[in-house]
Structure 1
């Protein structure tokens, strides 16, 4: 599970970001801060995988905060959620390791895409990468929602696949994927059935459970 820190001076937006992040079962919010100096002190002494950061804050703005974070040796990935969208600010922030940038107001689906991209990047960085893997990581375009059956979403499909990429050789039950992704078992079963039809996963019966056989899925090779 990935640890998240939220740095945002608006309590309503803080709570919204917390709810959105924890709705995804891959993330847990460790701390929230309305004052960036307190967040900086905490990050100096505690690990965090991801920082969700506002730009306009008291004491220091998001760019100043991020410069201080990097100077302190903190390597957490950062997703900006802010109304600051001028080109110079965006360029300066991306040079400091911002991995995604959401302009307020944003849709929940866009927030989900940012989390999915973060997980995809972290999973890919666990081993050596060939050119194809690098191209997929750096230039990947999410599948268009219109290609999926009615009622299914590309973001949810990617969430299911991201859980399986953590251990590509493992045979997953729908219950395991549901627990890892924060989705319901019914939802996971629907997506796994579709992915099997598309040839992206393979399904087999596991008779070695000592009880009732269960269907398990692996990523297609």
Structure 2
């Protein structure tokens, strides 16, 4: 099976290394380069066919937004996952208008990173399966889902389990209230590991917001609430 070629662009070598490790855990991807700024990234992309760019926003010389604009202006066909410590709406809007696959806010969990990769794979599969366009195939490409057999979720995500978790939020969590993954696990009868996987999916889809409670006296606890 061929691997999709990935370029990592981040001025922090530690973050770049972690992102590379995350990418390499998915055998459908292969990191072919790493750059510390946007100018070097553009030079690399013009010389090396690349399927996916993991692109940081804040970098010297040329930031991620400007780099993304240049990628589009130069008609470089690489898809982009944006990574940033910024959580302002303007930055999100700029990147969405420029057609990113996903938008990750630091610090993000490994599982959330994998969801972003799954979005890329779903997008590629939708185009590959749609040699002739009709409304159904266009809907599939835009939403990254297929209609056959109902809605398609990433591997490990089941619709019935999602419904259980959504029902928990509707019945037990107020609009402005937070709850822990452990509380959800106890209520719906699933393991904390399983709940974490589903919460990462819901955060990625925009249904749920997450935060980290560092004041537990031990290991930090993840907190969740509905958007």
> Structure 2-normalised TM-score?
0.61
Which 4+ runs in 1 deviate beyond 4 A?
A: 148-155
Shift in alpha-carbon separation, 1:34–1:145, aligned structure 2, 3 A: farther
Structure 2: unaligned runs, 5 residues or longer = 146-150, 163-189, 198-227
Q: Structure 1 stretch 36-45 or stretch 128-137: which is displaced more?
A: 128-137
Instruction: Using the TM superposition, give the Cα deviation of residue 145 of structure 1 relative to its aligned residue in structure 2, in angstroms.
Output: 7.7
> Structure 1-normalised TM-score?
0.63
Structure 1: unaligned runs, 5 residues or longer = 156-221
Match of 1:147 in 2: 161
- Residue deviations 1:90-132 (CA, integer Å, cap 9, x gap): 1111111211001001011111111011001101101234434
Whose RCO is larger (CA < 8 A, sep 6+)?
A: 1
Instruction: Using the TM superposition, give the Cα deviation of residue 134 of structure 1 relative to its aligned residue in structure 2, in angstroms.
Output: 3.6
Distance in 2, matches of 1:53 and 1:120, equals 20
Instruction: Using the TM superposition, give the Cα deviation of residue 50 of structure 1 relative to its aligned residue in structure 2, in angstroms.
Output: 0.2
Shift in alpha-carbon separation, 1:119–1:84, aligned structure 2, 3 A: same
Distance in 2, matches of 1:153 and 1:51, equals 29
Match of 2:220 in 1: none
Instruction: Using the TM superposition, give the Cα deviation of residue 69 of structure 1 relative to its aligned residue in structure 2, in angstroms.
Output: 1.7
1:94 aligns with 2:96: yes
Instruction: Using the TM superposition, give the Cα deviation of residue 39 of structure 1 relative to its aligned residue in structure 2, in angstroms.
Output: 1.1
Matches within 5 A, 1:47-58: 47-58=49-60
Distance in 1, matches of 2:114 and 2:137, equals 22
Instruction: Using the TM superposition, give the Cα deviation of residue 45 of structure 1 relative to its aligned residue in structure 2, in angstroms.
Output: 1.8
Instruction: Using the TM superposition, give the Cα deviation of residue 135 of structure 1 relative to its aligned residue in structure 2, in angstroms.
Output: 3.3
State the superposition RMSD in angstroms: 2.6
Residues paired across the two proteins, number = 156
